[in-house]
Structure 1
Amino acid sequence: MAAASNFVASCGCQMRIGASIRVRDSCSSSVDSLNPNRRIRVLARREGKGQFDQLCINNSKRKLSQNMRCLCTDMALVNQRVLQEHAISKPTGLLGYELVQGNLVQWNSFMDKSVPDPPTCVLLHGILGSRKNWGSFAKRLAEEFPLWQFLLVDLRCHGDSASIKKSGPHTVSSAALDVLKLVGQLRLTPRVLVGHSFGGKVALSMVEQAAKPLARPVRVWVLDATPGKVRAGGDGEDHPGELISFLRNMPYQVPSKQEVVDSLVHQGFSLEVARWVVTNLRRNAQQNFSWIFDLNGIADMYESYEKTNLWEIVENVPRGVHINFLKAERSLHRWALEDLQRIHAAEELASDEGAGVQMHVLEDAGHWVHADNPDGLFRILSSTFRIETTLRGIRGG
């Protein structure tokens, strides 16, 4: 796949926060209360509008200005300084995304194509999630590894990508191809792919489908998912398929989030999952709430997730690819003994072929690894960024 085009991904906007602030914009991209010492950039694409807003923060007056338009970024937090470039037409159907950059990253897509992009990690959410699931975790990584940038993606039918009409079928494979096209259009060459649950299979499918724009070496993290049969639900946990089915039978518009929470709990779903699901409700013009995802498309995606078998790429790992599986300690039903044995067998085989497969266990965590034990997950993932930084011979992090 060509690593693309003249597409404009971002301004060269530097963020320097002098005080703790909270920002919320009309397209629901958000920045939480920020550490006064934090210095990162967050660049985000607006939800399928074909146009990008630029939010400017003047730290001395703390006023928000939305009166500047450009086609390069929809959210840039800056300190009285915005570097603008010429607007360039963009391809249609681009996924919603955010690019979180460490403070030593000096790159944007306007640069000469001969200038290498900084090491990039792509973070992919699971079914019924969004790129927001990775927001705070990505910012933490960017602080620890300031030479890296982190691309957070809304997969098709989810978040800001739900308003983009994608042709079917809605599958693991098509979701992976969407992300490959996105990184190509942004002129990025990912060094690390991290996917949770459904996103883990998407990451594996990306490796299966393309040599470029994936780098060699590339490190893949599959968080609490196996390459083949999906064993979801059990031990009192919520079954995603049942949850999707229940949500599809609810009205598209609801008067309050609490009403949805109550309905889900009454149906037997956990309070934690009910509260998480309603983060996908957004207030509409009628002052009701409506879903920001395409539930019909998501139902197809989940069916594909259950059926897709990617053992072939794990048992025949391409040279220069290292696949890491992370099993949540309390997520027992998802991992059959045969899965673990097969992964351990692949470990030995891959090491003989100049590739790698490795199994990890995250203690004190259920399926929602980045919420249950973010510190433990951070420690495990950090090794990858340190190794890659050393291999590339760059300082920092």
Structure 2
Amino acid sequence: MAMTQKMVRSSHAALQAAGFSGRAGDHCGVASFGAQLRTRFENEFLGCSWSHRAANGSVQRRGSAGKASVQATLTEERPFVTTVPPTEKSNKALAYELIQGALARWCEVRDRATPEPPTAVLLHGILGGRRNWVSFAKRLAQEFPTWQFLLVDLRCHGESASLRKRGPHSVMSAARDVLQLMGQLRLTPRVLIGHSFGGKVAMSMVDQAAKPLARPIRVWVLDATPGKVRSGGDGEDHPGELIATLRKMPASLPSRRSLIDALSHQGFSASVAQWMTTNLKAAKAEGRSGYEWVFDLEGIADMYKSYEDTNLWSLVDNVPEGVHIDFLRAERSLHRWAHEDVQRIHMAEQIASTEGAGVQMHVLEDAGHWVHTDNPDGLFRLLTPTFGGTNFMRF
């Protein structure tokens, strides 16, 4: 604990030296990657300085846009976790957030002599957003302080929806966006973790990856199969049915409660109805009240259709050398997995092991499709060897 307190004092001194005020642990206004600002910020946790110039040469400081901040969170007997979110005015391919362990030293403008910390990219599912992964990513950063974790809003979702990406809106184009962001940030991810739709995006990234971006080493596909998605299921909360229901609703809703009531009336669970309210924002148009969607619903409908139809079995049958793909099946998510899917993955396990690659199947007990909320402890245990090991190959 004494060492942690020393880190707090040291970091605070660095902030004051750079011209920032406030107590250690406060939010410090710092322009983040891609902003049109010029800010100099020296931070011992990150070991770097950023420079972004505004049109008028001004410097954004404490009290400016809350999204342009660096947060240091102190947990008893735990290292700091630094969160670096983007500003709204970003020229990056996607909106993103970087969560860094205490020992992860990196910034976008960096000395090439400084080794890049290991990076994992976490990808959300359809109708989700990067916020779905924040708590879990912070836990990983606390346990593995040399790592950093990049969370993104995929196209048509969250803050990336405002970028108005051109179609087609598909698994492939979503993967291409993330690859473009990796190139812009000059990051080479060692691990990709994708949930549901994000799992297929992760596989498509490996399929498309080429120089100058190296292939990720470890790919975790959480509760998604490589092939076509079977329609239907247990009759509750099917994403295709949810999207169809949302498309029938008016573009503006009077209240969050009205959304919950409407979805509950259509047979969706209370948890899904409540979760969907997180995708609402106050209407901004003059003369309009109520709420509207943060996402591009029509684009998402196209993305989900692509998710159903995209077939990536060829990647699983011929995994590139040095790449390891882990499939995780949720115990209570039976309708997404056919017997032949499981058998084919097991067959791929045997083939890949003889070709310098890897495929492995896991089952997460006591979990439905929302694996990182249904059983976060179990998921954490399964992922731990991925971040604790040191035998990582690089391309």
**CA deviation digits over 1:123-158, x for unaligned, max 9?**
000000000000000000000000000000100000
Whether 2:337 is the aligned partner of 1:348: answer: no
- What is the alpha-carbon distance in structure 2 between the residues aligned to residue 242 and residue 105 of structure 1? 42
- What is the alpha-carbon distance in structure 1 between the residues aligned to residue 69 and residue 151 of structure 2? 12
Q: Which amino acid aligns with 1:312?
A: S
Unmatched runs of 5 consecutive residues or more in structure 2: 1-32, 47-62
One of 324, 329, 332 as aligned partner of 1:330: 332
Instruction: Give 2:140's aligned residue.
Output: 141
Instruction: Give 1:366's aligned residue.
Output: 368
Instruction: Give 1:304's aligned residue.
Output: 306
- What is the alpha-carbon distance in structure 1 between the residues aligned to residue 194 and residue 64 of structure 2? 26
Instruction: Give 1:175's aligned residue.
Output: 174
One of 78, 81, 85 as aligned partner of 1:40: 81
Instruction: Give 2:154's aligned residue.
Output: 155
Are 2:81 and 2:100, in contact at CA under 8 Å, matched by a contact in 1?
Answer: yes
> Secondary structure at 1:104's aligned position in 2?
coil
Are 1:14 and 1:41, in contact at CA under 8 Å, matched by a contact in 2?
Answer: no
Are 1:192 and 1:218, in contact at CA under 8 Å, matched by a contact in 2?
Answer: yes
Whether 2:263 is the aligned partner of 1:261: answer: no
Deviates more, 1:100-109 or 1:124-133: 100-109
Are 2:129 and 2:152, in contact at CA under 8 Å, matched by a contact in 1?
Answer: yes
Are 2:72 and 2:82, in contact at CA under 8 Å, matched by a contact in 1?
Answer: no
Alpha-carbon shift at residue 248 of structure 1 (Å): 1.5
Whether 2:136 is the aligned partner of 1:96: answer: no
RMSD: 2.7
Unmatched runs of 5 consecutive residues or more in structure 1: 1-6, 17-22, 51-91, 393-397
> Secondary structure at 2:122's aligned position in 1?
strand
> Secondary structure at 1:203's aligned position in 2?
helix
**Gap change, CA 1:382 and 1:334, over 3 Å in 2:** same
TM-score by length of 2: 0.80
One of 320, 325, 334 as aligned partner of 1:318: 320
Are 1:253 and 1:290, in contact at CA under 8 Å, matched by a contact in 2?
Answer: yes
TM-score by length of 1: 0.79
**Gap change, CA 1:108 and 1:224, over 3 Å in 2:** same
**Gap change, CA 1:276 and 1:233, over 3 Å in 2:** farther
**Gap change, CA 1:289 and 1:14, over 3 Å in 2:** farther
**Gap change, CA 1:31 and 1:326, over 3 Å in 2:** farther
**Gap change, CA 1:29 and 1:326, over 3 Å in 2:** farther
- 1:10-21 equivalences under 5 Å are 13=43
Instruction: Give 2:220's aligned residue.
Output: 221
Are 1:93 and 1:166, in contact at CA under 8 Å, matched by a contact in 2?
Answer: no
Alpha-carbon shift at residue 212 of structure 1 (Å): 3.7
Whether 2:310 is the aligned partner of 1:270: answer: no
**CA deviation digits over 1:20-63, x for unaligned, max 9?**
xxx9976699989963555111011134x34xxxxxxxxxxxxx
**Gap change, CA 1:258 and 1:8, over 3 Å in 2:** closer
Alpha-carbon shift at residue 251 of structure 1 (Å): 1.8
Whether 2:296 is the aligned partner of 1:294: answer: yes
**Gap change, CA 1:116 and 1:14, over 3 Å in 2:** closer
Q: Which amino acid aligns with 2:75?
A: N
Are 1:100 and 1:138, in contact at CA under 8 Å, matched by a contact in 2?
Answer: yes
Are 2:233 and 2:335, in contact at CA under 8 Å, matched by a contact in 1?
Answer: yes
Are 1:44 and 1:99, in contact at CA under 8 Å, matched by a contact in 2?
Answer: yes
Are 1:8 and 1:110, in contact at CA under 8 Å, matched by a contact in 2?
Answer: no
**CA deviation digits over 1:173-214, x for unaligned, max 9?**
000000000011001000000000000000000000013455
**Gap change, CA 1:116 and 1:216, over 3 Å in 2:** farther
**Gap change, CA 1:26 and 1:114, over 3 Å in 2:** closer
Alpha-carbon shift at residue 102 of structure 1 (Å): 0.2
Are 1:223 and 1:327, in contact at CA under 8 Å, matched by a contact in 2?
Answer: yes
**Gap change, CA 1:213 and 1:226, over 3 Å in 2:** farther
Q: Which amino acid aligns with 1:328?
A: A
**Gap change, CA 1:136 and 1:347, over 3 Å in 2:** same
- What is the alpha-carbon distance in structure 1 between the residues aligned to residue 134 and residue 250 of structure 2? 29
Alpha-carbon shift at residue 232 of structure 1 (Å): 4.8
Are 1:255 and 1:289, in contact at CA under 8 Å, matched by a contact in 2?
Answer: yes
Are 1:12 and 1:108, in contact at CA under 8 Å, matched by a contact in 2?
Answer: no
> Secondary structure at 1:162's aligned position in 2?
helix
Whether 2:110 is the aligned partner of 1:107: answer: no
Q: Relative contact order: is structure 1 or structure 2 higher (C-alpha 8 Å, sep ≥ 6)?
A: 1
Deviates more, 1:294-303 or 1:107-116: 107-116
Instruction: Give 2:125's aligned residue.
Output: 126
Percent sequence identity over aligned pairs = 65
Instruction: Give 2:21's aligned residue.
Output: none
Are 1:120 and 1:192, in contact at CA under 8 Å, matched by a contact in 2?
Answer: yes
> Secondary structure at 1:190's aligned position in 2?
coil
Instruction: Give 2:247's aligned residue.
Output: 248
Instruction: Give 2:57's aligned residue.
Output: none
Alpha-carbon shift at residue 264 of structure 1 (Å): 0.2
**CA deviation digits over 1:269-327, x for unaligned, max 9?**
11111111111111234552211100000000000000100000000000010000000
